[in-house]
Structure 1
Amino acid sequence: MNDPASAPRTPLTPRATGNPVRGLPLPDLAGFAHRWVDADGVRLHAVEGGRPDAPAVVLLAGFPQTWWAWRKVMPDLADRFHVVAIDLPGQGHSERPDISHDTHTVAAHVHAAVEALGVSAYWLAAHDIGAWVAFSLALEHQRQLRGVALLDAGIPGITLPDAIPTDPEQAWKTWHFAFHLVPGLPETLLTGREREYVGWFLRAKSLSPDAFDDAEIERYAASVAAEGGLRASLAYYRDAAESARRNHEALEQRRLTVPVLGISGSHGSIPDMAASLRPWAAHATGVVVPDSGHFIPDEQPAAVAAALAAFITEDEEEGGAEGEEPEEGV
């Protein structure tokens, strides 16, 4: 693996002092380098590889995961694209600041990280809470964004229902939204039991119980348990109402004009992501990945990589939606 300090595009803090979560094991992925950048006052962790001269694809993961959720997809994309996976604030090896975690605030930091990496235009693919952030980012930065793919996510104020269902056949998918909002109680019950909690999500929401082994569960649980990790994880849910308010405020001014791809799992949480996004997007298409639960990049990485490659390549060949960059405020 190349030394991240030798990468040419932007000055970097050395890895020894750049990592704000040094007590957390840092996994490597062949062909990719770790980088830390100042993202408008928050130090974010990125993992970068692929072709620097090719279209850039930025990847965001959700709860309870980190950038590592994309590890099986990234090598398949690297032959054709410049690939950057970013840990959100409070996630993985990014800083865990005491800031608002509404998705517009977080999106501003993510976009600043992409710019700090020297990327001026990019495609965005995001899962779960990462998709919450990606939707808000797309509303605010359509000039720099080429397109966005959103994977199995109920987005605050957009596709996330206002009420939690009480039918046991459905409630197990969304019960945690209300639980995470209760002040203090989740911290009391979950501190020291992060592995059991994270393990339930990974195994209950994937189609195959073997999708995550014990080592993967330990890896993600360690990130949540690291200082500030649990607080940040809960904060995304606790600030969801503000995320919804700001999404609606932005949508009063403009719709999404960049191409949007909704990716659903055959056994995921949102049966048809594209249908749920079409009221808010001018160009929305959809893919349903067979034999997958909620964690589509882990469960069916080849299908996800193929869907993203086709989405990007088709638009690149057509010269972008309607052949021009969208204007701000459209």
Structure 2
Amino acid sequence: MTEDEQFPQPKNLVPDLPLHEVAGFTHRWVDADGVVLHAVEGGRPDGPAVVLLAGFPQSWWAWREVMPQLAERYRVVAIDLPGQGHSERPPAGYDTHTVASHVQAAVNALGVRTYWLAAHDIGAWVAFSLALMDRGGSLHGLALLDAGIPGITLPDAVPTDPARAWKTWHFAFHLVPELPETLLAGREREYVEWFLTAKALAPDAFKPAEVEHYAAAVAAEGGLRASLAYYREAAESAARNHEALERGRLTIPVLGVSSSHGSIPDMAASVRPWAPNTAGVVIPQAGHFIPDEQPEATAAALIAFVERGGAAG
């Protein structure tokens, strides 16, 4: 069977969004249990597999500078979540356990049997739920980057102190029915640019072309609806996380990746009550968007985590 026969390529699911290239990587689309997901794959076919997930308001492209560094050692697969980037935008099913089942189906369809998982922001929401669902031992370890995971690291209430409120205010806004769509339709670029500018340590961390790319993905048909749906399903995601945790804590190695100026000051401490085998690392000179802002340090932290087998360093 040829590669094209194994991974038949449908027409671009988001035709107005350019398909960016990373040298040595190939675009794939796979049927992931009824939802077509887009993946970008490269690196060493015989190496350990590392799967990457991004968050709001981004796509697989958030990992573009980390991927080549990991590819020197590993098979690397960056996946767009449902509703993200060049993946399908289903009308429903955005709680993180449902999404995690689609991600696992995509990983299986790509022929990945065991892997390490690194995920940022909403990607980390999905990754945590996926780890809770992984009872077959396919997941070697989990790296979670600066994420307010529902029911896990997300504060119970949005702070009202202006010095902190700007980091999490959007959780409540996105939950309001219809109003965000009314205010944001046609203004997706301005909204996306605010996040990329305000939540990065350096306000010029993202080039205008990068802002345009992420904004175009959100503005494309179904993109804004899907982005909001993850937040609107957050309570369900939290409930399902805790239901799974009643059956047992995570036992796989976990790396909590914080940054010097991120949203969650200590990811490791926040995750450890649910995953005792958790180590932590802080990436300096970075805000929320750690892989974009400090790709070399991010890659180094992930490589160290994989090479030591997830054991605390």
Give the TM bin, normalised by the shorter chain.
Answer: over 0.9
Runs of 4+ that moved beyond 6 A: none
* 1:146 equivalent in alignment to 2:116: no
> Cα offset for 1:298?
0.3
Q: In structure 1, what residue type is equivalent to 2:30?
A: V
Instruction: Note if 1:234 corresponds to 2:236.
Output: no
Aligned equivalent of 1:250: 244
Which runs of no fewer than 5 residues in structure 2 stay unpaired? none
- Equivalence map 1:88-237=2 (5 Å): 88-142=81-135, 143-237=137-231
8 Å CA contact retained: 1:18, 1:36:
no
- CA drift of 1:7 comes to 3.4
Amino acid in the other structure paired with 2:216: A
User: Could you report, residue by residue, the CA deviation over 1:244-298 in whole angstroms, capped at 9, with x for unpaired residues?
Assistant: 0000000000111110000001000011100111101131000000000000000
Alpha-carbon displacement from aligned partner over 1:208-228 (angstroms, at most 9, x marks no partner): 111101111000000000000
Distance in 1 of aligned mates of 2:88 and 2:150: 24
In 2, are the aligned partners of 1:19 and 1:36 still within 8 Å (CA)?
Answer: no
Q: Quick check: 157-166 or 235-244, which moved more? A: 157-166
Alignment length, in residue pairs? 311
In structure 2, what is the Cα distance between the partners aligned to 1:45 and 1:156? 25
Output the TM-score relative to the length of structure 2: 0.97
CA distance in 2, matches of 1:6, 1:310: 35
Match of 2:8 among 13, 19, 25: 13
Deviations 1:283-325 (A, max 9, x none): 1000000000000000000000000000001018x8xx9xxxx
Aligned equivalents of 2:177 and 2:148: distance in 1?
A: 22
Structure 1: how far apart are the matches of 2:2 and 2:89?
Answer: 26
Q: State the shift of 1:23 in Å.
A: 2.2
Q: SS state of the match for residue 15, structure 2?
A: coil
Shift of 1:6: 5.3
Query: In the aligned structure 1, how far is the partner of 2:70 from the partner of 2:93?
Result: 32
TM-score, with length taken from structure 1: 0.92
**Aligned residue among 259, 262, 270 for 1:265:** 259
Encode CA deviations 1:120-161: one digit per residue, 9 max, x unaligned: 100000000000000000000141100000000011011111
One-letter identity of the residue aligned with 1:231: R
Q: Is the 8 A contact 1:19 1:94 kept in 2?
A: no
Aligned counterparts of 1:286 and 1:81: Cα–Cα separation in 2 = 22
